[in-house]
A = this chain, B = another copy of it.
Protein backbone atom coordinates (compact mmCIF):
# COMPACT_ATOMS: atom_id res chain seq x y z
CA UNK A 1 0.00 0.00 0.00
CA UNK A 2 1.21 3.51 -0.82
CA UNK A 3 2.66 5.75 1.89
CA UNK A 4 0.14 7.74 3.92
CA UNK A 5 1.50 10.99 2.43
CA UNK A 6 0.40 9.78 -0.96
CA UNK A 7 -2.90 8.35 0.20
CA UNK A 8 -3.85 11.58 1.96
CA UNK A 9 -2.55 14.02 -0.67
CA UNK A 10 -5.07 16.72 -1.52
CA UNK A 11 -7.45 16.01 1.34
CA UNK A 12 -9.14 19.24 2.40
CA UNK A 13 -11.99 17.95 4.50
CA UNK A 14 -12.97 15.09 6.78
CA UNK A 15 -16.34 13.39 7.18
CA UNK A 16 -16.64 11.71 10.56
CA UNK A 17 -18.98 8.93 11.49
CA UNK A 18 -20.16 9.29 15.11
CA UNK A 19 -21.15 5.97 16.70
CA UNK A 20 -18.09 3.71 16.88
CA UNK A 21 -15.71 6.56 16.03
CA UNK A 22 -16.43 9.24 18.64
CA UNK A 23 -18.31 7.09 21.14
CA UNK A 24 -19.63 3.64 21.90
CA UNK A 25 -23.36 3.89 22.59
CA UNK A 26 -24.94 2.28 25.61
CA UNK A 27 -26.64 3.02 28.87
CA UNK A 28 -27.00 6.75 29.59
CA UNK A 29 -25.82 7.49 26.06
CA UNK A 30 -22.61 5.49 26.15
CA UNK A 31 -18.95 6.47 26.59
CA UNK A 32 -16.43 8.37 24.47
CA UNK A 33 -13.87 6.19 22.73
CA UNK A 34 -10.54 6.91 24.47
CA UNK A 35 -8.66 9.78 22.84
CA UNK A 36 -11.50 10.81 20.55
CA UNK A 37 -12.53 14.02 22.37
CA UNK A 38 -9.00 15.34 22.19
CA UNK A 39 -8.50 14.08 18.61
CA UNK A 40 -11.59 15.93 17.40
CA UNK A 41 -10.42 19.10 19.13
CA UNK A 42 -7.06 18.89 17.33
CA UNK A 43 -8.76 18.20 14.01
CA UNK A 44 -10.99 21.23 14.41
CA UNK A 45 -7.99 23.46 15.18
CA UNK A 46 -6.44 22.41 11.84
CA UNK A 47 -7.27 23.91 8.46
CA UNK A 48 -9.18 20.81 7.43
CA UNK A 49 -12.93 21.16 7.10
CA UNK A 50 -14.84 18.86 9.39
CA UNK A 51 -18.37 17.52 9.13
CA UNK A 52 -20.22 14.68 10.84
CA UNK A 53 -22.06 12.12 8.74
CA UNK A 54 -24.10 9.71 10.83
CA UNK A 55 -26.86 7.19 10.37
CA UNK A 56 -27.97 7.73 13.96
CA UNK A 57 -31.74 7.57 13.87
CA UNK A 58 -32.72 6.54 17.36
CA UNK A 59 -32.45 10.05 18.82
CA UNK A 60 -32.96 13.47 17.27
CA UNK A 61 -30.00 15.40 15.93
CA UNK A 62 -30.48 17.91 18.73
CA UNK A 63 -30.34 15.28 21.47
CA UNK A 64 -27.38 13.55 19.82
CA UNK A 65 -25.40 16.76 19.70
CA UNK A 66 -26.38 17.57 23.28
CA UNK A 67 -25.08 14.20 24.41
CA UNK A 68 -21.80 14.61 22.53
CA UNK A 69 -21.24 18.10 23.85
CA UNK A 70 -21.89 16.81 27.35
CA UNK A 71 -19.09 14.29 26.77
CA UNK A 72 -16.78 17.12 25.76
CA UNK A 73 -16.94 16.88 21.96
CA UNK A 74 -16.71 20.12 19.95
CA UNK A 75 -19.79 19.70 17.76
CA UNK A 76 -22.88 21.70 16.82
CA UNK A 77 -26.16 20.75 15.15
CA UNK A 78 -25.34 22.59 11.95
CA UNK A 79 -22.28 20.40 11.42
CA UNK A 80 -24.22 17.13 11.37
CA UNK A 81 -25.69 15.36 8.35
CA UNK A 82 -28.18 12.81 9.68
CA UNK A 83 -30.92 10.79 8.00
CA UNK A 84 -34.11 12.00 9.71
CA UNK A 85 -33.89 15.60 8.41
CA UNK A 86 -32.90 14.21 4.99
CA UNK A 87 -35.94 11.93 5.04
CA UNK A 88 -38.23 14.85 5.87
CA UNK A 89 -37.05 16.60 2.71
CA UNK A 90 -37.81 13.50 0.64
CA UNK A 91 -41.26 13.13 2.23
CA UNK A 92 -42.15 16.75 1.52
CA UNK A 93 -40.83 16.68 -2.05
CA UNK A 94 -42.86 13.58 -2.87
CA UNK A 95 -46.02 14.41 -0.90
CA UNK A 96 -45.60 11.30 1.26
CA UNK A 97 -47.39 10.86 4.59
CA UNK A 98 -45.47 8.33 6.64
CA UNK A 99 -46.45 5.75 9.17
CA UNK A 100 -43.44 6.02 11.51
CA UNK A 101 -41.70 2.89 12.76
CA UNK A 102 -39.22 4.85 14.85
CA UNK A 103 -38.17 5.30 18.45
CA UNK A 104 -39.84 7.96 20.56
CA UNK A 105 -36.48 9.74 20.72
CA UNK A 106 -36.47 10.67 17.03
CA UNK A 107 -40.19 11.33 16.59
CA UNK A 108 -39.72 15.07 17.16
CA UNK A 109 -37.74 15.29 13.88
CA UNK A 110 -41.01 14.55 12.06
CA UNK A 111 -43.25 17.00 13.91
CA UNK A 112 -43.85 19.09 10.80
CA UNK A 113 -44.73 16.09 8.66
CA UNK A 114 -48.34 15.10 7.99
CA UNK A 115 -48.77 11.53 9.25
CA UNK A 116 -52.50 11.21 8.65
CA UNK A 117 -53.74 8.51 6.25
CA UNK A 118 -50.23 7.10 5.68
CA UNK A 119 -49.14 6.32 2.13
CA UNK A 120 -45.67 5.09 3.06
CA UNK A 121 -43.66 3.70 5.98
CA UNK A 122 -40.50 5.27 7.40
CA UNK A 123 -38.31 2.91 9.41
CA UNK A 124 -35.45 4.05 11.63
CA UNK A 125 -33.29 2.37 14.25
CA UNK A 126 -36.04 1.84 16.80
CA UNK A 127 -34.25 -0.42 19.31
CA UNK A 128 -36.71 -1.74 21.89
CA UNK A 129 -39.55 -0.19 19.91
CA UNK A 130 -39.04 -2.95 17.34
CA UNK A 131 -41.70 -5.00 19.13
CA UNK A 132 -43.62 -7.59 17.13
CA UNK A 133 -46.69 -5.42 17.38
CA UNK A 134 -44.96 -2.31 16.03
CA UNK A 135 -43.16 -4.10 13.19
CA UNK A 136 -46.35 -5.95 12.28
CA UNK A 137 -48.33 -2.70 12.21
CA UNK A 138 -45.84 -1.22 9.72
CA UNK A 139 -46.14 -4.42 7.67
CA UNK A 140 -49.93 -4.17 7.64
CA UNK A 141 -49.80 -0.52 6.54
CA UNK A 142 -47.52 -1.47 3.64
CA UNK A 143 -49.70 -4.41 2.60
CA UNK A 144 -52.73 -2.15 2.39
CA UNK A 145 -51.05 0.26 -0.03
CA UNK A 146 -51.41 -0.24 -3.74
CA UNK A 147 -47.82 0.91 -4.28
CA UNK A 148 -46.07 0.27 -0.98
CA UNK A 149 -43.19 2.68 -0.30
CA UNK A 150 -40.70 1.87 2.46
CA UNK A 151 -38.10 4.49 3.37
CA UNK A 152 -35.28 3.26 5.60
CA UNK A 153 -32.99 5.60 7.55
CA UNK A 154 -29.79 3.75 6.78
CA UNK A 155 -29.50 0.01 6.34
CA UNK A 156 -26.87 -0.90 8.92
CA UNK A 157 -26.70 -4.54 9.97
CA UNK A 158 -25.70 -3.86 13.57
CA UNK A 159 -23.85 -1.45 15.79
CA UNK A 160 -21.83 -1.84 18.93
CA UNK A 161 -22.95 -0.72 22.34
CA UNK A 162 -20.99 -1.07 25.53
CA UNK A 163 -23.21 -4.08 26.31
CA UNK A 164 -22.54 -5.83 22.99
CA UNK A 165 -23.59 -5.87 19.33
CA UNK A 166 -27.09 -4.60 18.64
CA UNK A 167 -29.34 -5.19 15.62
CA UNK A 168 -29.65 -2.08 13.49
CA UNK A 169 -32.44 -0.83 11.26
CA UNK A 170 -31.20 -2.77 8.21
CA UNK A 171 -32.27 -6.09 9.73
CA UNK A 172 -35.85 -4.87 10.15
CA UNK A 173 -35.79 -3.20 6.73
CA UNK A 174 -34.94 -6.61 5.26
CA UNK A 175 -37.74 -8.25 7.25
CA UNK A 176 -40.30 -5.84 5.79
CA UNK A 177 -38.82 -6.05 2.29
CA UNK A 178 -39.16 -9.82 2.34
CA UNK A 179 -42.61 -9.91 3.91
CA UNK A 180 -44.02 -7.35 1.47
CA UNK A 181 -42.01 -8.35 -1.61
CA UNK A 182 -40.67 -4.80 -2.05
CA UNK A 183 -37.37 -2.94 -2.00
CA UNK A 184 -36.78 -0.13 0.46
CA UNK A 185 -35.37 3.27 -0.43
CA UNK A 186 -32.46 4.10 1.81
CA UNK A 187 -31.95 7.63 3.14
CA UNK A 188 -28.57 7.78 4.90
CA UNK A 189 -25.29 6.01 4.36
CA UNK A 190 -24.47 4.32 1.98
CA UNK A 191 -26.88 6.15 -0.34
CA UNK A 192 -24.78 8.39 -2.64
CA UNK A 193 -27.24 11.32 -2.27
CA UNK A 194 -26.53 11.37 1.44
CA UNK A 195 -22.76 11.61 1.10
CA UNK A 196 -23.19 14.16 -1.69
CA UNK A 197 -25.35 16.36 0.49
CA UNK A 198 -22.68 16.24 3.22
CA UNK A 199 -20.01 17.20 0.65
CA UNK A 200 -22.18 20.05 -0.61
CA UNK A 201 -22.57 21.34 2.93
CA UNK A 202 -18.77 21.31 3.28
CA UNK A 203 -18.26 22.95 -0.12
CA UNK A 204 -15.90 20.21 -1.25
CA UNK A 205 -15.60 17.86 -4.18
CA UNK A 206 -15.54 14.14 -3.44
CA UNK A 207 -11.84 13.77 -4.29
CA UNK A 208 -11.00 16.41 -1.67
CA UNK A 209 -12.69 14.61 1.20
CA UNK A 210 -12.06 11.54 3.32
CA UNK A 211 -14.55 9.55 5.37
CA UNK A 212 -13.58 8.04 8.71
CA UNK A 213 -15.90 5.32 9.95
CA UNK A 214 -16.16 1.95 11.65
CA UNK A 215 -18.48 0.35 9.08
CA UNK A 216 -16.59 -1.22 6.19
CA UNK A 217 -19.66 -1.28 3.94
CA UNK A 218 -21.81 1.68 5.01
CA UNK A 219 -19.00 4.15 5.69
CA UNK A 220 -16.00 3.00 3.67
CA UNK A 221 -17.68 1.34 0.70
CA UNK A 222 -20.37 4.02 0.51
CA UNK A 223 -17.91 6.93 0.55
CA UNK A 224 -15.62 5.28 -1.98
CA UNK A 225 -18.56 4.71 -4.33
CA UNK A 226 -19.00 8.48 -4.34
CA UNK A 227 -15.36 9.09 -5.25
CA UNK A 228 -14.18 9.90 -1.74
CA UNK A 229 -11.37 8.26 0.13
CA UNK A 230 -12.21 6.35 3.29
CA UNK A 231 -10.39 5.03 6.33
CA UNK A 232 -11.72 2.43 8.74
CA UNK A 233 -11.07 2.70 12.47
CA UNK A 234 -10.53 -0.43 14.52
CA UNK A 235 -13.10 0.75 17.08
CA UNK A 236 -16.87 0.40 17.33
CA UNK A 237 -18.24 -2.44 15.25
CA UNK A 238 -14.90 -3.09 13.52
CA UNK A 239 -14.08 -6.79 13.27
CA UNK A 240 -10.69 -8.16 12.11
CA UNK A 241 -12.37 -9.82 9.12
CA UNK A 242 -13.25 -6.35 7.82
CA UNK A 243 -9.63 -5.94 6.69
CA UNK A 244 -10.19 -8.84 4.31
CA UNK A 245 -13.67 -7.87 3.15
CA UNK A 246 -14.48 -9.54 -0.17
CA UNK A 247 -15.74 -6.36 -1.82
CA UNK A 248 -14.48 -3.29 0.02
CA UNK A 249 -10.89 -2.24 0.68
CA UNK A 250 -10.38 0.89 2.75
CA UNK A 251 -7.70 3.41 1.80
CA UNK A 252 -6.25 2.68 5.19
CA UNK A 253 -6.96 1.13 8.57
CA UNK A 254 -6.15 2.91 11.83
CA UNK A 255 -6.52 1.89 15.44
CA UNK A 256 -8.82 4.78 16.33
CA UNK A 257 -9.73 8.36 15.57
CA UNK A 258 -6.67 9.63 17.36
CA UNK A 259 -4.38 7.77 14.96
CA UNK A 260 -6.40 8.96 11.99
CA UNK A 261 -6.05 12.58 13.12
CA UNK A 262 -2.31 12.15 13.72
CA UNK A 263 -1.89 10.95 10.14
CA UNK A 264 -4.15 13.64 8.68
CA UNK A 265 -2.35 16.45 10.48
CA UNK A 266 1.01 15.02 9.50
CA UNK A 267 0.34 14.33 5.84
CA UNK A 268 -2.21 16.79 4.53
CA UNK A 269 -1.26 20.22 3.33
CA UNK A 270 -1.06 22.61 6.29
Contacts and interface: CB of A to CB of B under 8 A. Distances in A.
Contact of A172 (B128, B129, B175): B175
Contacts of A110: none
Interface in A125-179: 126-133, 135-136, 139-140, 143, 157-158, 164-168, 170-172, 174-179
Contacts of A181: 157
For this chain, the copies found in one complex come to 2
Q: Is the interface of A mostly helix, strand, loop or mixed?
A: helix
A178 B184 CA distance: 14
Contact of A178 (B126, B133, B136, B171): B171
Interface size class of A (residues with CB under 8 A): 20 to 34
Contacts of A174: 174-175, 177-178
B167 A171 contact: no
Nearest to A136: B167
Contacts of A139: 158, 165, 167, 171
